[in-house]
Structure 1
Amino acid sequence: MAARGTVKPFANFNASHDAEVLYKAMKGLGTDEEAILTLIAARSNSQRQHIKSAYKSTYGKDLVDDLKSELGGKFETLIVALMTPPVSYDIYELRNAIKGAGTDEKVLIEILASRMASQIKEIATAYKAEYDSNLEDDITGDSSGHFMRLMVILLQANRQQGVDQGAIKTDAEGLFAAGEQKFGTEEETFITILGNRSAAHLNKVFDEYRKLSGFEIEESVQRETSGSLKELLLAVVKCARSVPAYFAESLYCGLKGAGTDDHTLIRIMVSRSEVDMLDIRAQFRKMFATSLYSMIKNDTSGDYRKTLLLLCGGDDA
Structure 2
Amino acid sequence: MALVSEFLSQLTLSHSGEREPLYPTVVPVRDFDPARDAARLEAALKVKGVDEQTVIDILTRRTYEQRREIAFDYERIAKKDLTVALKGALSGSLEALMLGLMKSPTQYDASMLNGAMKGLGTDEETLNEIVCSRNNEELAQIKAVYREMFKKDLEKDVAGDTSGDFAKLLLALIQNKRDEPSNVVEYQQIDDDARSLYEAGVKRKGTDVTVWIAIMTQRSVPHLQRVFERYMSYSPYDMKESIMKEVKGDLEKSFLTLVECVENKQLYFANRLNEAMKTKGAKEKVLTRIMVSRCEVDLMKIRNQFKKQHKRSLYQTIVEHTKGDYQMALLSLCGGDD
Same fold at TM > 0.5: yes
Alignment of structure 1 residues 297-316 onto 2, 5 Å: 297-316=319-338
Partner of 1:18: 37
Task: State the match for 2:88 in structure 1.
Answer: 69
- Does 38-47 or 157-166 show the bigger shift? 157-166
2:174 pairs with 1:155: yes
Count of residues paired in the alignment: 316
1:37-76 mapped onto 2 (5 Å cutoff): 37-76=56-95
Counterpart CA distance in 2 for 1:128 and 1:10 is 32
Please tell me the root mean square deviation across aligned C-alpha atoms, in Å. Answer: 1.1
How far residue 158 of structure 1 moved from its aligned partner, in angstroms, is: 2.2
Question: Does 2:284 align with 1:269?
Answer: no
Give 1:7's aligned amino acid: V
Give 1:207's aligned residue. 229
**In structure 2, what is the equivalent of residue 198 of structure 1?**
220
CA contact (8 A) 2:59 2:67 kept: yes
Deviation larger for 79-88 or 230-239: 79-88
Q: 1:4 aligns with which of 13, 23, 26?
A: 23
Deviations 1:112-142 (A, max 9, x none): 1111211110110111112111100010011
Taking the aligned partners of 1:5 and 1:277, their CA distance within structure 2 comes to 5
Moved over 4 A (4+): none
- The 1-side partners of 2:35 and 2:334 are apart by 27
Write out per-residue CA displacement over residues 12-63 of structure 1, whole angstroms, 9 at most, x where no aligned residue. 1111111000001111322111111011111011100111111112221011
- Report how far residue 3 of structure 1 moved: 2.2
Indicate which of 134, 145, 162 corresponds to 1:115.
Answer: 134
Matched, 1:239 2:261: yes
Give yes or no for contact 2:128–2:254 (8 Å, CA) kept in 1: yes
User: Does the CA-based 8 Å contact 2:25-2:333 persist in structure 1?
Assistant: yes
Q: In the alignment, which of 89, 114, 127 is matched to residue 108 of structure 2?
A: 89
Secondary structure of 1:180's aligned partner? coil
| Bigger shift: residues 7-16 or 157-166 | 157-166
Alpha-carbon offset, residue 243 of structure 1: 1.1
Alignment-derived partner of residue 284 in structure 1? 306
Q: Which moved more, 1:283-292 or 1:155-164?
A: 155-164
Query: Is there any run of 5+ residues in structure 1 with no aligned partner, and where?
Result: none
Q: Distance in 2 between matches of 1:242 and 1:61?
A: 43
Aligned residue for 1:212, secondary structure, equals coil
SS in structure 1 at match of 2:253: helix
- Match of 1:222? 244
5+ residue gaps, structure 2: 1-19
1:97 Cα deviation (Å)? Answer: 0.4
Range moving further from structure 2, 291-300 or 23-32: 23-32
In the TM superposition, residue 101 of structure 1 has moved relative to its aligned partner by: 2.6
User: In 1, distance between residues paired with 2:64 and 2:149?
Assistant: 19
1:165 to 184, 187, 192: 187
| CA shift for structure 1 position 166 | 2.0
Q: Is the CA contact 2:28–2:66 (under 8 Å) kept in the aligned structure 1?
A: yes
Distance of 1:293 and 1:100 partners within structure 2: 35
Q: Does 2:159 align with 1:137? A: no
Which of 251, 272, 285 is 2:273 aligned to? Answer: 251
> Deviations for 1:230-279, whole angstroms, at most 9, x for unmatched residues?
11111111111111011011111111023211111000000100111111
Partner SS for 1:67: helix
Could you tell me how far apart the structure 1 residues matched to 2:33 and 2:257 are? 40
Distance 2:282 2:119 in 1: 21
Match of 2:16 in 1: none
SS of residue matched to 1:211 = coil
Whole-angstrom distance in 2 between the partners of 1:258 and 1:188: 40
